[in-house]
Amino acid sequence: MSKSVLVLYMSRGGHTARIARRIADSVAAAGGRAETMSLLEADKEGVDWTRYDVVALGAPVLYGTYDRSVFDFVAKYRTQLETGPNAFFNVSVVARTPEKTTVAGNRYMQKFLELSPWKPRDLKVIAGKVDYPSWRWHERLMIRLIMKYTHGPTDPTTVIDYTDWDDVAGYGRHLASLAT
């Protein structure tokens, strides 16, 4: 029987949603089944958790933390998330450097583990996208400060996708392999 993976995500600008779709495509390419759902949709429409062998949840880092909806969701559905193999991935621009792509080296991952009542079994750090033109001026200002501090791009016209898409596809295959 083919393995079934549910990829839940929160995405503010659309990039984490794209990552979720790439994960699902890769599961499908490997012969499994996968569905993606935003946290909003999952909460409003409901999830038939019994249909999935593995559940993954991904969220972008926003101002050093995660959107409140992420914590609300994991608090509400902790039991369902913990029933079978489960995984969490975060998306951030600081993860563009090799030392911050590791779970141990990414303090936002440590922060998630501290704040979340759900303790995911499997963790993944994914580099996201810098997209200054699409951000509001005060967001641009804040992120340029973060970038200055971490020696990243500060030119306000910069658009750089730091995501390693082959690695994301590999992560999809990894998730499918977690099914028992």
Q: Does 64 bind ligand FMN (CB under 6 A)?
A: yes
- Give the position of tokens 């933390």: 65
Q: Does 129 bind ligand FMN (CB under 6 A)?
A: yes
Q: In terms of CB distance, is 11 or 101 closer to ligand FMN?
A: 11
- The b/e string for 95-110 (b: 16+ C-beta within 10 A; e otherwise) is bbeeebbeeeebebbe
> Could you say which residues in the range 2-21 bind ligand FMN, by CB under 6 A?
11-16
Q: Which of 63, 110, 159, 165 binds ligand FMN (CB under 6 A)?
A: 63
Q: Does 160 bind ligand FMN (CB under 6 A)?
A: no
Cβ(70)–Cβ(100) below 8 Å:
no
| Shortest Å, Cβ 57 to ligand FMN | 13
Q: Which of 20, 128, 171, 178 binds ligand FMN (CB under 6 A)?
A: 128
Q: Does 135 bind ligand FMN (CB under 6 A)?
A: yes
Cβ(54)–Cβ(174) below 8 Å:
no
Q: Which of 27, 55, 56, 62 binds ligand FMN (CB under 6 A)?
A: 62
| Shortest Å, Cβ 78 to ligand FMN | 23
| Shortest Å, Cβ 4 to ligand FMN | 24
- In the complex, the residues that contact ligand FMN under the rule CB under 6 A are 11-16, 60-64, 91-94, 128-129, 135, 139, 143, 146
